[in-house]
């Protein structure tokens, strides 16, 4: 069986292009949804401060509403 060619199983990510496609697909599905990962990232940006901690920028970056971002910020207080 050493000479047998192994085929990837279904769902196997074979190369960088597939990985990027999967990331883009996940981002597309999560657009407008405030996921736990987005909440954690928003909190990290706010804790660091600076220009990138503005609710408007965070809303654009994470593809959620400004109201959602403000809610996360308010919960941190």
Count of domains for the chain: 1
Is residue 25 a part of any domain in this protein?
no
Is residue 21 a part of any domain in this protein?
no
Domain boundaries, position 47: 32-76
Is residue 41 a part of any domain in this protein?
yes
Angstrom distance (rounded) from CA 61 to CA 69: 11
Is residue 58 a part of any domain in this protein?
yes
Query: Which pLDDT belongs to residue 19?
Result: 79
Q: Which residues have CB under 8 Å from 73's CB, separation 6+?
A: 42, 46, 55
Is residue 26 a part of any domain in this protein?
no
**How confident is the model over 6-51, as pLDDT tens digits?**
655 666 666 777 778 788 888 888 899 999 999 999 999 999 998 8
Is residue 54 a part of any domain in this protein?
yes
Is residue 50 a part of any domain in this protein?
yes
Q: What is the pTM of this model?
A: 0.69
Burial of residue 4, with CB atoms counted within 10 A of its CB: 0-12 exposed, 13-18 middle, 19 or more buried: exposed
Tell me the backbone φ, ψ of residue 44, rounded to 5 degrees: -65, -45
């Amino acid at each position: 069986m050493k000479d047998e060619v192994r085929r990837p199983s279904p769902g196997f990510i074979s190369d960088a292009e597939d990985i990027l496609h999967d990331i883009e697909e996940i981002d597309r599905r999560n657009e407008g949804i405030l996921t736990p990962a987005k909440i954690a990232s928003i909190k990290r940006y706010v804790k660091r401060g600076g220009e990138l901690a503005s609710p408007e920028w965070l809303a654009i970056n994470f593809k959620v509403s400004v109201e959602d971002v403000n809610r996360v910020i308010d919960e941190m207080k």
